[in-house]
Amino acid sequence: MVSKQLRVVVTGDGGQLAQCIKHLDPNFNHLFYYKDRKALDITDANSVKTVLDALKPHVIINAAAYTQVDLAETETDAAFAVNERGVANLAAYCSENRVKLIHISTDYVFDGASSRPYLESDATAPQTTYGKSKRAGELAILDAAIPAFWIIRTAWLYSIYGKNFYKTILNLAQSRDELSVVNDQTGVPTQALDLAHFILKHIPQLNPQNSGIYHFVNSGQASWFDFAQAIVAQNGLKTKVIAVSSAQYPTLARRPKFSVLDNSKLQKTFNYSIRDWSTALPG
């Protein structure tokens, strides 16, 4: 018996996760529609209805987000427009039209004060406008009567696409003898291709019974300094990486000191093994 081909709308086309999904989609028997903000403005409920009514998706992957962490402190309305109102519009559409939703969230919903990896059930306490807007988006989904949904929190996402720490360090290391990188913030570098693969492989399994919040990050943990060292070594570069305090690089938005997410719930629920961050680097 041949399974029904799923119609999947991916928002945030042009972003690194959407590009990773696009890179992998030929390996999966789903029908994909990629939409950037011009083609689908999730902050506009009329745009959401018009575009999605025409496509009649079975599943929406919301990879659209306002992710400028520091700029969000001064562009609060813009951050909440995309990360809360936009998500609420998608959630309302999914509820009214019986469409499933996969939404990407963040480690910034936590305060960064934990001494152990965060569980999905831990209390949220976002410390930044970005984190608060992303948590508001999560709540919009939880408050909607969506037939099936996953809220997937990830962190330190990188790939060969878009703007990210991996590409920044690689570019700088190719032109400098030394790099200074903070060593007092701990998280998990997460390969966006790994997240994309999990989503595409498991879309057919999304149902009311496994709906909820999940953490997807690569296994293990690292500081930004550790991550930078690994990038330099993986690419055979000789650049010296120097550990420094985050106090030497003040930012408008407060970064979490510790934002390791526990991924065991996802691995157990879907019998899916997530590789260690140190084995996921390109090169």
Kindly list the catalytic residues.
130
Look at residue 151 and give its three-state secondary structure: strand
The span from the CA of 54 to the CA of 67, in Å, is 28
Q: Contact, 192 vs 16, CB < 8 A? A: yes
Q: Contact, 273 vs 267, CB < 8 A? A: yes
The span from the CA of 237 to the CA of 158, in Å, is 19
Length of the chain: 283
In terms of DSSP H, where are the helices of 35-148? 45-55, 76-80, 87-97, 129-143
- How distant is the alpha carbon of residue 9 from its chain centre? 16
Q: Contact, 100 vs 59, CB < 8 A? A: yes
- What secondary structure does DSSP assign to 5-64, as a single string? PEEEEEESBTBHHHHHHHHHGGGS-EEEEEE-TTT--TT-HHHHHHHHHHH--SEEEE--
Count of Cβ atoms closer than 10 Å to residue 83 Cβ: 30
Which amino acid is residue 283, in one-letter code? G
Q: Contact, 126 vs 135, CB < 8 A? A: yes
Scanning the structure block, which residue is given the tokens 């019998």?
Answer: 271
